[in-house]
Amino acid sequence: MREINYNDLVANVAKICIDANYNLGQDVIDALQKHLATEESPTGKAILQQIIENAAIAREGVFPLCQDTGFAVFFVNLGQEVHIKGGSLNDAIAEGVRKGYGDGFLRKSIVADPLRRVNTKDNTPPIIWTEIVPGDKLNVTIAPKGGGSENMSEVAMLTPADGAEGVKKFVVDKVSRAGGNPCPPVIVGVGIGGTFEKVAWLAKKSLLRPVGSRNPDQFYADMELELLDKINKLGIGPQGLGGRTTALDVHIEAYPCHIASLPASVNIQCHSARHKSFEL
Amino acid sequence: MAEIIKLTTPLDDSQVKKCRAGDNVLITGPIYTARDAAHKKLVDLLDAGKPLPVDLTGHLIYYVGPSPTRPGQAIGSAGPTTSYRMDPYAPKILQAGSKGMIGKGEMGKGVADALQKYTGVYLTSVGGAAALIAKSIKSSKVVAYEELGAEAIVLLMVENFPAIVSQDCYGGNSFVEGLKKYRING
Ligand code: SF4
């Protein structure tokens, strides 16, 4: 057993909460630059320019990228030979969130109950997806998720007869109906297969991949590019005000599924596509 | 898109009439923030024929819920929130003398009609450009409904605050026109 200190974990979690909310990934910035060069709409261009400038200002560490600093969603790979000394994994992550969102002047956007709606005032609890993996390392990724784009997400239980065409239609329709609400340009996460809950998780997980990366399976890599092309023909454009840049990328993750099912999901990520990781 | 229009608040009709859907503007002067709860209170007062705690004449209302303010700063990050939630209130606010609002996403038909009737303008600031927008806010001061906390009415002094005319006083709508212009069928 390899031991990892609880307090080290808390400190590292707090650090990535802040890091993610102030430092936009270079993959996203590169994609924005690329589209700035090709966007035909003058309004669209001006918006992309502002988003790029915004990232530079946020990087100075005073103003977070967006005032909605999100639900703190974590993906954890826990090596089965790791033991956390001094407390539990989930407690350490929650404490890290409390510290990071406090020290980083990040907005507290979580209510303790979905219907009674009293703010928890420290942005906890986080959402934690843990996978136990071989080895003695602990890898933690945060993906803070804003409300505007999360609200524009959906799961559909399609039938096997719907096939690839049915999935593509579902995805494009969803992005089309979302319009300007999720702060386009967006990154479209798509899950295909598994079960009802697994497919939503797949879409969210796909958003962790760098913008511009393709699914290793050529079949899905081709589908990603086909969907990206279709979505960027919709004309929604930056902020929904018209243009060619509606999505920066489409990521698909697939999983085996039941002979009777074809689950599909869309999880939309706004351009404030924040994620940061650490390994202990 | 013409060159950037400079707006100095409070606005008069002639400034509003210069704004066409698709134009970029830079706003300088005072603007008020208000979200759902403050809107409800304001409209309740209007319905009861009572005076408002602030004079809205010529003013723009910004739909915003900023991140916490650091010591020494005027405000935290301060990008727009989704506007359609204010659809039920906005026409009455315009009727009371406001010249428009700033938010993100399309506003409904009732609002579009009111913009024409009362000569108002709906501007969008860029969702997620919250740090850039914060830089243009020079001061902030709670002026009404302090008890609402984050939803209180705050007076912001802004300088070259960037926004885009998205629904104008002529019925122009950038969401509709933009989509039509850039959609590729097939
Ligand atoms: S959708 Fe994203 S960019 Fe837009 S307000 Fe929410 S977190 Fe910010």
Q: Are residues A13 and A130 located together in one domain of the fold?
A: yes
- Residues in B touching A53 (Cβ below 8 Å): 129, 132
Residue A58 CA, ligand 1 centroid: distance in Å? 14
Distance A183 CA to ligand 1 centre (A): 6
- Distance (Å) from the C-alpha of residue B173 to the closest C-alpha of chain A? 9
CA of A279 to the centre of ligand 1 (A): 28
Residues A159, A124 share a domain: no
Calpha distance B15→B5 (Å, rounded): 9
Pairing, β B60-62 against β B24-33: parallel
Instruction: Indicate whether A59 belongs to any domain.
Output: no
Claim to verify: residue A15 and residue A135 sit in the same structural domain:
yes
Chain B residues closer than 8 Å to A54 by CB: 126, 128-132
In a shared domain, residues A120 and A15: yes
Is residue A259 predicted with pLDDT exceeding 90? yes
Chain A touched by B165 (CB under 8 Å) = no
Is 90 exceeded by the pLDDT of residue A35? yes
Instruction: Give the pLDDT band (50/70/90) at residue B65.
Output: confident
Mean pLDDT of B129-148: 94
CA distance A64 to B139: 18
pLDDT digits (tens, 9 = 90+) for B35-46: 888 999 999 999
| A245, closest residue in chain B (CA to CA) | B182
Q: Identify whether A167 is part of a domain.
A: yes
Residue A60 lies in a domain: no
Q: CB–CB of A230/A190 below 8 Å?
A: no
- pLDDT score for A119: 85
Contact call for residues A265 and A198 (beta carbons, < 8 A): no
Q: Which chain B residues touch A63 with a CB distance below 8 Å?
A: 67, 73, 76-77, 130-131, 134-135
Structure tokens at A96: 């890290």
- Per-residue pLDDT band for B185 (boundaries 50, 70, 90) equals confident
pLDDT at residue B114 in the model: 97
Q: A43, A145, A229, A268: best mutation site toward chain B, by most B Cβ within 10 Å? A: A43
**Residue where a domain stops, chosen among A88, A115, A144:** A144
How many contacts (CB atoms, under 8 Å) link A and B? 154
Look at B1 and A69 and tell me if their CB atoms are within 8 Å. Answer: no
Cα B151 to middle of ligand 1, angstroms: 19
Please name the residue of chain B whose CA is at the shortest distance from the CA of residue A103: B70
Residue B113: HSE in the Cβ half-sphere, 13 Å Cα cutoff = 7
Mean pLDDT of chain B: 94
Asked if A185 and A78 sit in the same domain, the reply is: no
Out of A40, A50, A62, closest to residue B182 by CB:
A40
Is the ipTM, as predicted for this complex, more than 0.95? no
Assign a CATH topology to domain B20-161: fumarase (3.20.130)
Residues A174 and A240 in one domain: yes
* Cross-chain residue pair B132–A50, CB shorter than 8 Å: yes
Last residue of a domain, one of A121, A144, A167: A144
Do A261 and A188 fall into the same domain?
A: yes
Say if residue A80 is in the same domain as residue A168. no
Q: What residue of B is the nearest CA neighbor of A23?
A: B131
> If you take atom 3 of ligand 1, which residue's CA is the nearest one?
B128
Same domain as A82, residue A11: yes
User: Does A46 contact B105 at a Cβ distance shorter than 8 Å?
Assistant: no
Residues A136 and A159 grouped into a single domain: no
Helical ranges in chain A per DSSP H: 6-22, 26-38, 42-59, 89-103, 147-150, 163-178, 196-206, 218-232
Question: Among the ranges A13-22, A40-49, B31-40, which has the highest mean pLDDT value?
Answer: A13-22
For the stretch B87-128, pLDDT in tens is: 999 999 999 999 999 999 999 999 999 999 999 999 999 999
Question: Are A199 and A241 in the same domain?
Answer: yes
Residue A53 lies in a domain: no
- Residues B167-172: what's their mean pLDDT? 97
Cβ-based contacts of A46 with chain B (< 8 Å): 1, 24, 164
Domain residues for A116?
2-20+65-144
- Looking at the structure of chain A, the number of domains it has is 2
In a domain, A188, yes or no: yes
Flag whether A6 is in a domain. yes
Return d(Cα A150, Cα A64) in angstroms, integer: 19
Q: Which of A85, A111, A144 is the last residue of a domain?
A: A144
Could A41 and B128 be called an inter-chain contact, meaning their C-beta atoms sit closer than 8 Å? no
Q: Is residue A118 included in any domain, yes or no?
A: yes
pTM value?
A: 0.93
Domain assignment present for A250: yes
Pocket of ligand 1 (CB under 6 A): A 66, 68, 146-149, 182-183, 270, 272; B 79, 127-128
Which chain A positions have a beta carbon within 8 Å of B64's beta carbon?
Answer: 67
* Cα–Cα distance for residue pair A11/A24, rounded to 1 Å: 21
Q: What angle, 0 to 180 degrees and rounded to 10, lies between the N-to-C axes of helices A42-59 and A26-38?
A: 160
DSSP string, A30-62: HHHHHHHHH---HHHHHHHHHHHHHHHHHHTTS
Nearest CA to ligand 1 atom 7: A146
Are both A122 and A109 inside the same structural domain? yes
- Using CA atoms, how far apart are residues A174 and A156, in angstroms rounded to an integer? 11
pLDDT of residue B37: 86
